[in-house]
């Protein structure tokens, strides 16, 4: 309980005195807050916890919110009105992309072509790679056989270490191509730059995934 | 006070090194960023500890490891550089992630309540307060605040406040200096998150010269005064008619 008043007579939640004791608590708060407004010397190395219901801002003597830190530094009572409730603290969140900010969509397509014909395609989306710490392990393979002339085995592997293609070819005169397509769509960025807010849930790419993609593209 | 003095001397050494480089224009070999060897025109050599501006920006800020972990890095910065308790971000991240609302953390990042519970569990009593920047400066303790960068909610540590500027430890960009008026526009709310315990340590590590020197401002002003410029040009040979 964050804002409990330490004296058992005034024990309540969120710094609000129980109604029956409210008047006495206000009077006590006035006495303590008057001292806080007047300032004082540092009396200890610990900023005191809220031990009185300071209602001075309502009484008009001084603004409790403005004097709360002064009271803290001088080792005196803290105005409970200035202490932020746990419910409010829980709402104060910070991260790279906020809900209501902009949305990042990601797509990675890896395609291997033999003699101009696409034989194997592996597609990764953001859903495939944010469910864990990196890319969900994925393995695709196909064998392209040309009878007695030989054949071509194609293996696409995706995992935390990156995305790779392994090609085993045993026939001559074959043209093999790998095509990687990385698509990143940032929805709402224009609105964010303008200072506005786009709708939609923000999604982010874990650092491990970013590094996996960078390693893959660097190959 | 003594710690501030020693840090101030250290900062002076950094700028002295830069001044020597510019004035002597002597060839020098730099083994690494922290220890540079300078050779003067007369052949004398000396070593000085130097830091680049980029290094200076991170000398008292813990860099966030993940794109949504500014909250854990801000707490690590607060403990490591303002309360004398070296703390790695991963320690804070793991502890807050273990007990926090994981879905919300993954979607929106850590909350001030996550930070409060982490600090409370380690003997620091922390709370959020609705107070002005002036009052925070008057008390002189560091605080974590939430910025709203056009929808980008981001935790930073206020490392110092003067009449004109606010010095911020930004887990994504290092030490940053803002004008008070500009910084006020970036604040997401009027909540400052401070630690109530160990006030003397917090006050001793607030507004440090060493931190401010990490973000030096350019010396704005005329390089040559107009009068001295006139004294030079008036005696130059004229190119016009006589």
CA distance A214 to A207: 10
- The residue whose two tokens read 């009396």 is A43
β-sheet with B191-195: strand ranges across: B126-130, B191-195, B143-149, B152-161, B165-170, B174-179
Dump pLDDT digits (tens) for A67-91.
455 555 544 444 555 789 999 999 9
What pLDDT does residue B224 have? 56
- Split at pLDDT 50, 70, 90, the class of A127 is low
What pLDDT does residue A41 have? 29
Dump pLDDT digits (tens) for A137-159.
778 888 888 788 888 999 988 77
CA distance B210 to B88: 21
What pLDDT does residue A163 have? 75
> What average pLDDT does the structure give for chain A?
57
Sort strands B35-39 and B28-32 into parallel, antiparallel or unpaired: antiparallel
Chain A residues lying within 8 Å of B201, measured CB to CB: 45
Decide if pLDDT at A211 tops 70.
no
What pLDDT does residue A129 have? 57
Size of interface A-B (CB pairs under 8 A): 158
Dump pLDDT digits (tens) for B115-126.
999 999 999 989
What pLDDT does residue B196 have? 87
Q: Is there a contact between B128 and A97 if contact means CB atoms under 8 Å apart? A: no
B66, B127, B132: residue with CB nearest A207: B66
Decide if pLDDT at A48 tops 70.
no
| Average pLDDT of the residues in A7-29 | 32
- Of residues A36 and B43, the one with the higher pLDDT is B43
CA distance A56 to A5: 16
What pLDDT does residue A109 have? 78
CA distance A204 to A101: 12
Exposed, middle or buried by CB within 10 Å (0-12, 13-18, 19+), for A172?
exposed
CA distance B141 to B136: 7
A44, A90, A204: residue with CB nearest B113: A90
Residue from B70, B74, B143, B156 carrying the catalytic annotation = B70
Choose, out of B77, B90, B108, the residue to mutate when testing the contact with A (most A CBs < 10 Å).
B108
For residue B186, count other CB atoms closer than 10 A to its CB. 17
What pLDDT does residue B232 have? 62
Exposed, middle or buried by CB within 10 Å (0-12, 13-18, 19+), for B47?
exposed
CA distance B97 to B115: 10
CA distance B36 to B17: 9
Give the CB-side neighbour count of residue B144, counting CA atoms within 13 A.
Answer: 35
Chain A residues lying within 8 Å of B197, measured CB to CB: 45-47
Choose, out of A92, A187, A202, the residue to mutate when testing the contact with B (most B CBs < 10 Å).
A92
The contacts of residue B19 (CB under 8 Å, 6+ apart) are none
Q: Give the sign of the dihedral formed by CA A75, CA A80, CA A82, CA A87.
A: positive
What pLDDT does residue A97 have? 44
CA distance A191 to B135: 35
Decide if pLDDT at A192 tops 60.
no
Nearest Cα to Cα of residue B136 among A60, A82, A89? A82
CA distance B156 to B188: 11
**pTM to 2 decimal places:** 0.52
For residue A173, count other CB atoms closer than 10 A to its CB. 6
A48, A201, A205: residue with CB nearest B107: A201
* Known catalytic membership, residue B2: no
For residue B82, count other CB atoms closer than 10 A to its CB. 26
CA distance B117 to B115: 5
Mean pLDDT by 10 residues, chain B (242 residues): 36 39 37 61 73 82 84 96 94 92 82 96 92 87 90 89 93 90 92 91 91 70 60 64 52
CA distance B210 to A42: 26
CA distance A96 to A110: 28
Q: Is there a contact between A93 and B104 if contact means CB atoms under 8 Å apart? A: yes
What pLDDT does residue B227 have? 64
Task: Give A78-99 as a DSSP string.
Answer: PPGGGBPPHHHHHH-EE-SS-T
A42, A66, A201: residue with CB nearest B135: A66
- Split at pLDDT 50, 70, 90, the class of A45 is very low
Maximum CA extent, chain A = 100
Q: Is there a contact between A67 and B65 if contact means CB atoms under 8 Å apart? A: no
* Backbone dihedral angles phi then psi of residue A117, each to the nearest 5 degrees: -110, 130
What pLDDT does residue A63 have? 41
Q: Cβ(A13)–Cβ(A23) under 8 Å?
A: no
Enter the tokens of residue A153: 């085995």
Nearest Cα to Cα of residue A104 among A10, A13, A192, A212? A192
What pLDDT does residue A57 have? 30
Query: What is the distance in angstroms between the Cα of B229 and the nearest Cα belonging to chain A?
Result: 45
Q: Is there a contact between B150 and A193 if contact means CB atoms under 8 Å apart? A: yes
Q: What is the ipTM of this complex?
A: 0.71
Sort strands A162-169 and A93-94 into parallel, antiparallel or unpaired: unpaired
β-pair partners for B169: B157, B175
Q: Cβ(B69)–Cβ(B110) under 8 Å?
A: yes
């Amino acid at each position: 309980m964050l804002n409990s008043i330490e004296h058992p007579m005034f024990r309540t939640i969120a710094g609000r005195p129980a109604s029956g004791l409210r008047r006495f608590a206000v009077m006590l708060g006035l006495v303590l807050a008057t001292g806080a407004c007047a300032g004082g010397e540092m009396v200890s190395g610990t900023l005191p916890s809220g031990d009185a219901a300071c209602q001075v801002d309502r009484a008009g003597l001084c603004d409790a919110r403005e004097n709360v830190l002064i009271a803290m530094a001088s080792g005196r009572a803290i105005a409970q009105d200035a202490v932020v409730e746990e419910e409010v603290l829980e709402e104060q969140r910070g991260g790279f992309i906020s809900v209501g900010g902009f949305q990042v969509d990601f797509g990675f397509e890896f395609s291997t072509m033999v003699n101009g014909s696409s034989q194997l395609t592996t597609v990764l989306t953001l859903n495939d790679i944010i469910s864990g710490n990196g890319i969900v392990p994925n393995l695709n393979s196909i064998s392209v056989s040309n009878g007695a002339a030989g054949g071509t085995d194609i293996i696409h592997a995706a995992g935390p270490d990156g995305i790779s293609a392994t090609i085993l070819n045993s026939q001559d005169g074959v043209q093999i191509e790998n095509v990687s397509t990385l698509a990143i769509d940032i929805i709402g960025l224009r609105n964010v730059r303008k200072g506005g807010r786009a709708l939609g849930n923000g999604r982010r790419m874990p650092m491990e995934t970013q590094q996996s993609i960078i390693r893959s593209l660097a190959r | 006070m003594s710690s501030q003095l020693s840090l101030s001397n250290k900062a002076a050494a950094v700028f002295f090194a830069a001044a020597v480089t510019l004035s002597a224009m002597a060839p020098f070999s730099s083994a690494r960023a922290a220890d540079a060897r300078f050779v003067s025109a007369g052949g004398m050599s000396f070593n000085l500890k130097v830091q680049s501006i980029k290094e200076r920006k991170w000398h008292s800020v813990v860099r966030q490891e993940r794109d949504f972990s500014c909250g854990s890095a801000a707490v690590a910065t607060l403990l490591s550089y303002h309360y004398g308790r070296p703390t790695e971000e991963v320690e804070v991240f793991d502890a807050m992630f273990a007990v926090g609302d994981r879905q919300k953390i993954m979607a929106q990042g850590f909350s001030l309540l996550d930070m409060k519970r982490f600090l409370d569990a380690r003997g620091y009593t922390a709370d959020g307060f609705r107070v002005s920047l002036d009052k925070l400066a008057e008390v002189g303790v560091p605080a974590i605040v939430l910025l709203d960068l056009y929808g980008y909610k981001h935790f930073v540590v206020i490392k110092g406040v003067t009449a004109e500027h606010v010095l911020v430890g930004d887990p994504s960009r290092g030490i940053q200096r803002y004008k008070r008026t500009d910084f006020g526009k970036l604040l997401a709310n009027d909540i400052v998150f401070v630690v109530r315990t160990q006030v003397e340590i917090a006050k001793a590590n607030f507004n440090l010269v060493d931190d401010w020197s990490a973000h030096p401002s350019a010396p704005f002003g005329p390089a040559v005064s107009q009068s001295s410029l006139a004294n030079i040009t008036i005696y130059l040979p004229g190119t016009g008619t006589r």
